[in-house]
Structure 1
């Protein structure tokens, strides 16, 4: 393997969901800085189309694959069905990879398509299964030994040893921070005197707030918080939780995980009519450990008579809410459109035509969708189990509601649906809030200082770098 010793720029190795738009947007915010960026592929899924400006480390088998056999569509479907019966986890991985690839190919990027110069791919050869690599990482496909061995902690440890980063930055806990922790354990077991790189762990969404209540996860979260040098999160609530789990490092700036937004560009996608004249409601469709989109649908169904002239747009939709939404549409109860695949601009356009946004969950971080609703003038109604209260002027620019109080959720939705003055004034104030806290002109210097602190570069009082 080649050496990177001649590179003088600060070197950062990201361990993150390389197929996530959030990872792509965060890395995009670093493009103007003079960093040597690397990204470890944590599973076989193709990288997001907007991942640029990094060296992507993709673990690959050392031995050549047998030539592909050309099969008909019927034969491919039959083979996938047999695989699903024999190994459901592997079938799920194949389907997920195909869906991700389809999304990437059909997504429009506001920036030029990535070139070989923008995204350098390094294939990391794999020669066999290391028993020490077979550890639980909290991932859905952890029972697949081939994936675990190829993308697990043993391979990550090899990449860390080769790249020798100045900083490891893991984005999200349950998959990526756990993976870094396991790689760190392996490296220390093999060489107790080895020096592990400086490690920054970023909390995403429900990583601590929800999973910290589970005994097994709580143990892992505590181990991570005690091992890391730096911890970052997007709300004050989670900073306090990180401290409670054993983090003893310095306090980094609290920044939204979505990175900065070009506010002026987003406003060009926005309907210029005031929100009180809009006839669209945006609804988050999550239905999983935290998402409660079925509650949102029940709220909408209660107000069906008042929503006859409205279009309901659901995005990020789970199976149950999707089925129920289509039932309500077929029955003529609600005019619902379910978005399965859309570009980021298309979602922003929908927010820019929406009067209100409804999202019910039992756990979340700030939620990028809430920020996008505020940006585009849709009045946000979000459960108080997120960090939305750190951005709302409660009752004026948004409603933070309890997830288990259906009547209060209905009452607040009714007010957003009928109070024209409320939604119009909120849109003006929310745009000011987003511009002052999330515009690229604000976030870019904040992220610069964030990484200077993370890399241990001292700053003067005015924020400039000392030499």
Structure 2
């Protein structure tokens, strides 16, 4: 079966695709953003890249950096239309199915092409694209048009299936699966609660992510509570780094920052999670956060926001983690941190619960066969 996948270049997408290696399918990837070179980690996939620019003219990168207005004007004449390129791609490949990952960036740009064919269309909902689409500025009528065209839906949480139905989806639901196709747990990297000395913070501050509220919470904690821990902030936006520089309290702490725009290997993040006493992440919108699943798999006690009540699908407050009721309330977050650090027994029990739960429900080795079966099911339906 020929499967044409449409997605941005993304770590979680690459992990999903690699679950299909040696499955017997011909996999094609249309890079909807046409960003960067061929991706070596999925080198077995036919990658459709280099389609966007008509000409890679001299000094293009310099103009883009130093004259963004001029660059934007020039690109109006130098960029190919994604609709036309994707239509040509579909006509050349003649895929048995098209599978898009995320709606705003990958689904809506191709919907006009998909509306003019009857190829089975699979959509994987990611992150905020169902829960927060109106706040992201998406047209509700266009979203409903998109969902009416989708033949098969995959979500990363139960909530988004219900939201999809409310917004026009009435076809087949294939189930809830993590957006990365599952986790591989390296138990050798999971430290005991007594050997953990890192507070790990996800550093998104982008309108949805609320990392600065976590920093404000850390500022409220007494030296006696916080000074014995190393604080590591990963995927930190520049505003987070700027806030830390201006904070006298935070400058006195042992803080390491990994910028969002810099590369950090996912294996390093997992290793840090395996040594972290807490993993703290807060946002006003999300699907099922992959970082939360990873932190739980490595035994880090989660303090996590609960937008749309997704996180409570896997966290029972005060049992295997703490749920942040109000992401804008730094005092609430500070209270959760203080309680978690002061309750070793709770953290030990949570570690056992979470590692076992993730291994049972999100084990990559098990999910591999379930994902392959999804495509077999679609293929069988096509033939019938």
**TM-score scaled to structure 1, two decimals?**
0.75
Is residue 2:319 matched to residue 1:319?
Answer: no
Partner of 2:97: 167
**TM-score scaled to structure 2, two decimals?**
0.90
Distance 1:331 1:447, change over 3 A: closer
Aligned partners of 1:339, 1:346: CA distance in 2, in Å?
11
> Are the equivalent residues in 2 in contact too, given 1:348–1:376 (CA < 8 A)?
yes
By how many angstroms is 1:41 displaced? 1.9
Q: Which residues of 2 match residues 85-234 of structure 1 at below 5 A?
A: 86-87=70-71, 89=72, 144-146=75-77, 149-150=80-81, 152-185=82-115, 188=116, 195-213=117-135, 216-234=138-156
Q: Which residues of 2 match residues 38-437 of structure 1 at below 5 A?
A: 38-46=28-36, 47-60=38-51, 79=63, 81-84=65-68, 86-87=70-71, 89=72, 144-146=75-77, 149-150=80-81, 152-185=82-115, 188=116, 195-213=117-135, 216-263=138-185, 266-270=186-190, 272=191, 274-305=192-223, 306-328=225-247, 332-340=251-259, 341-385=263-307, 387-402=310-325, 403-437=327-361
Is residue 2:362 matched to residue 1:444?
Answer: no
Corresponding pairs, count:
377
Structure with greater Cα Rg: 1
Aligned partners of 1:200, 1:81: CA distance in 2, in Å?
37
Partner of 1:115: none
> Are the equivalent residues in 1 in contact too, given 2:214–2:282 (CA < 8 A)?
yes
Provide Cα deviations, 1:396-445, integer angstroms capped at 9, x if missing partner: 11112222443332222211111000111111110100100111232112
What is the aligned-residue RMSD (CA, Å)?
2.7
Give the secondary structure class of the aligned counterpart of 2:201. Answer: strand
Is residue 2:19 matched to residue 1:35?
Answer: no
Distance 1:332 1:288, change over 3 A: closer
Aligned partners of 2:21, 2:40: CA distance in 1, in Å?
15
Distance 1:248 1:280, change over 3 A: same
Distance 1:301 1:35, change over 3 A: same
Aligned partners of 1:369, 1:442: CA distance in 2, in Å?
20
Any stretches of 5+ residues in structure 1 without a counterpart?
Answer: 1-9, 91-142, 189-194, 459-465
Aligned partners of 1:65, 1:241: CA distance in 2, in Å?
42
Which one has more relative contact order, counting CA pairs under 8 Å at least 6 apart? Answer: 2
> Are the equivalent residues in 2 in contact too, given 1:14–1:39 (CA < 8 A)?
yes
> Are the equivalent residues in 2 in contact too, given 1:168–1:199 (CA < 8 A)?
yes
Give the secondary structure class of the aligned counterpart of 1:31. Answer: coil
Aligned partners of 1:147, 1:371: CA distance in 2, in Å?
42
Provide Cα deviations, 1:213-232, integer angstroms capped at 9, x if missing partner: 56743222111111111111
